[in-house]
Amino acid sequence: MSKAMRDSVRRSIAFHEAGHAIACCSRRIKIHHATIIPARGYRGRVKHAPFRGIDPTSDNSARGDWRVKGQVIACLAGQEAQRRYSPRSLRHSDHNQAGGDYKLALDLALMVNASEEQATAYLKWLRIVTHDLVALRWPQIERVAGALFERETLTAEEIKAEICDVRGERRRAWREAEAGAVSRHGPRKAAWPPRLTRWPSRPGRVERPPAGFLSMPD
């Protein structure tokens, strides 16, 4: 395999694991680390905390349901991110939904649904949710995937730092765009007449509006 081919495969794996990592962060699942260093049984891995204190088979609370949904979304997000980056990079077994991530998601769905038909519909719905999540967090996934490709392994703190960098860049871009709009059109003018704000008054007594409240001119 040529170097270009190896880099292409590694980058696809990086996007796959970045999808898992960002989904875990969005669903408040604690991450230990993410890596694209292959080992026996996997080509890349995101190690995260398992269920603690919640049994999906018996806990019907809203918190338990939210945790199960988060685990399923985290399982599906890797394949969804890889598909968005490069559909051709998915192996044939992934297209047949026979990958390990899908099997784990299906097992979780079967735990909280009464039949296989319900579990299939449940997974279909959560795949749509995952698709929307990946689209929303795509800048963060791209940043984490790039860092994984360069460093091969990221700790939880390094992943969070990459996410914070993306958020900071978006804030700066928004402020620059707002500043540019102000420079082109000038500062915003206050609307006239100003909106009147009611304030409490005592019977038989005329009170002045408190400081900071707009009032109509005499």
Query: What is the number of domains present in the chain?
Result: 1
Q: Is residue 199 in a domain?
A: no
User: Domain containing 19 — which CATH number?
Assistant: 1.20.58.760
Q: Is residue 29 in a domain?
A: yes
Q: Is residue 26 in a domain?
A: yes
Q: Is residue 53 in a domain?
A: yes
pLDDT attached to residue 203: 55
Of 1, 12, 3, 8, the residue nearest 145 (C-alpha): 12
Q: Is residue 215 in a domain?
A: no
pLDDT in tens, the chain (218 residues): 677 778 888 999 999 999 999 999 999 899 999 999 988 888 889 988 876 656 666 667 778 888 889 999 999 999 999 999 998 888 644 544 446 888 889 888 988 888 999 999 999 999 999 999 999 999 999 999 999 999 999 999 999 999 888 877 777 777 777 777 666 666 555 555 555 455 455 555 544 544 444 444 44
Q: Is residue 112 in a domain?
A: yes
Q: Is residue 188 in a domain?
A: no
Q: Give Cβ neighbours of residue 207 (< 8 Å, ≥ 6 apart).
A: 199, 201
Single-letter code of the amino acid located at 72: V
pTM to 2 decimal places: 0.73
Asked whether the beta carbons of 61 and 177 are under 8 A apart, the reply is no
The label of the residue with tokens 């998915």 reads 90
Q: Is residue 80 in a domain?
A: yes
- Give residue 51's domain range: 3-168
pLDDT attached to residue 212: 46
